Every structure is written in structure tokens, then in C-alpha cells.
Amino acid sequence: MEHSIHFLIITVLVVGLALAVPSEAAGKDIQRGFVAKTIEMGEKDIKYVVYVPESYDAKKPMPTIIFLNGYGECGTDGWRQCYHFGGAIMLKAADWPFLVIFPQKQYNKPSASEEPTPWVDQDEMVMAILKKSEKEYRIDKTRLYLTGLSQGGFGTWALGAKHTDLFAAIAPCCGWGSKQTAETLAKAKMPIWTFHGDADQAVNVECSKEMTTWVTDAGGECKLTIYPGVGHNSWDKAYREEKLGEWFLQHHK
């Protein structure tokens, strides 16, 4: 019940922000806040969200984050994926001077009982949304970052390795991955900051420890933050208490 109430509150806030009065930049109205978007993929219309901060200026390239949601936020509604990271942004927007792209991981079939495919299998959708966003906003391609939690943490490791040419840094929360993925990221000298709770019952903390070891053994850079006594929800601390935004901005292609 408490989770449902919190989700309702966040939804109301997000919708309110999305309906904010547009601001003018570079001769056209650019809506600020959490903006509902749609992209056509084959015969499907895929809903997603772009967060546009008040500081956005279409005359200046803006640092951009792609956020990958976890299992609980999968679906087709187009809003649920904003719940965790979007909530952190709303609590302290000044810490997040970025455009933020929120794709939503889709189910294989309309039923929510179906297991969604991994983020790496939805890479085409993520890249299509990024390309569409590059046409609509002034994205700084040298400061593009990737983060996600749980299944999105796994996706952050995987898509970060698949697109080492795109991302300037990645930050997986309570994720996991393969030795090959870690070595690919190390070879590309990808800056990584990963987070995990040592009491996580869903994804064992050893997963992040293992990825960190594989990256560093291969000559890469990987910062690991472990939260004592914290379960699966390591993302609230990562997104609300750490200076992750500042860390991202230290890195560029």
C-alpha cells in the first residue's frame, strides 16, 4: 500500500511537471519537466519520457543521461520507468543538470506476467529513442552517460560495453554481467561507478564485486560503493546521496 501511495504521488508530480508552461529557446518552445514522448517501432507506438531541466538552452549542447529501469517498472504505460531516478531528480533537481532519457523496457507480450527481454535485446529501441532525441534537443555527444538499476543495472553493463563509442561513463546499480563485458569496458577505458547493498537478496553483492575485479584486473577503472545493511534498493542512496551527477560531468569522450 505504501509503495502504491508513493507511486501515485510521484505520478501526480511527474504529470504536473510535464504540463508546465513551455519556455522559449532558440526560436521555438521547449517544454520543461518530464515530457511524455512516443516513437514508432514497426507497428508499435512506444512511449517514453525525456526530462528537460529548467537550465536547458537549445543554443548550448547539454550533458545527457539514459536511464534503464528495473523489472518492477517494465511495461507500456510510458511513466512507471521514471519512478526511482525521476524521484531523485525531483527531490534535488540542482544535482542533475542533464537531459535525461527514460525508455521503458517492454514485455514480450501485452501481459505483465510475461518476463521482459533483457535490455540488450531492446537496444534497437534505446538507440532509436536516442537518435530521435538528438533531433529534438541539443545533446552534448561528448557527455552522454548511462545508468540503471537491477535489470537496468545489468543493461547498463551490457549496453555500456556494446556502445563504448557513445558513453563517456556508466553507473550500474545492483547489476551483474559477464567477464567478457567487463573486459570490453576495461579495454575501452570506460569510467565506471557501481553500487550495491551487501544485504541484497535479489542480486547478490558478489555480482558487483566480481565485475569490479574483472574490470580492474583487465586494466580498467571501476569504483565500487557497497552499502552495509542495505538490501536490493541501493539506488536511493546512489541517486539521492552520492555526487553521481558531479562524477559524470568529470568524464567526456
Task: Give 11: exposed, middle or buried? Use CB within 10 Å, 0-12, 13-18, 19+.
Answer: middle
From residue 42, how far is each of 125, 152, 245 by CA, in Å? Answer: 10, 24, 35
Parallel, antiparallel or unpaired: strands 139-149 and 62-68: parallel
Beta-bridge partner residues of 139: 62
* pTM summary value: 0.88
Q: Which three cell numbers stand for residue 192?
A: 565506471
Strand blocks (E) in 76-162: 99-102, 139-149
From residue 151, how far is each of 20, 48, 76 by CA, in Å? Answer: 32, 18, 17
* Cα distance between residue 193 and residue 175, in whole Å: 12
Other CB atoms closer than 10 Å to residue 201's CB: what's the count? 8
pLDDT at 25: 38
Report the candidate in 8, 41, 116 with the shortest Cα–Cα distance to residue 71. 116
* Cα distance between residue 93 and residue 140, in whole Å: 19
pLDDT at 98: 98
pLDDT at 2: 37
Q: Which domains, ranges and CATH numbers included, belong to the chain?
A: 2-249 (3.40.50.1820)
pLDDT at 60: 96
pLDDT at 101: 98
Report the candidate in 149, 2, 137, 145 with the shortest Cα–Cα distance to residue 70. 149
Beta-bridge partner residues of 129: none
**Do the Cβ atoms of 114 and 107 come closer than 8 Å?**
yes
- Weakly modelled stretches of the chain, pLDDT under 70: 1-28, 108-114
* Cα distance between residue 196 and residue 209, in whole Å: 9
Report the candidate in 12, 15, 119 with the shortest Cα–Cα distance to residue 67. 119
pLDDT at 23: 37
Q: Each residue of 35-93: pLDDT tens digit?
A: 999 999 988 899 999 999 999 999 999 999 999 999 999 999 999 999 999 999 999 99
222-227, strands of its sheet edge to edge: 33-41, 44-52, 99-102, 62-68, 139-149, 169-173, 192-197, 222-227
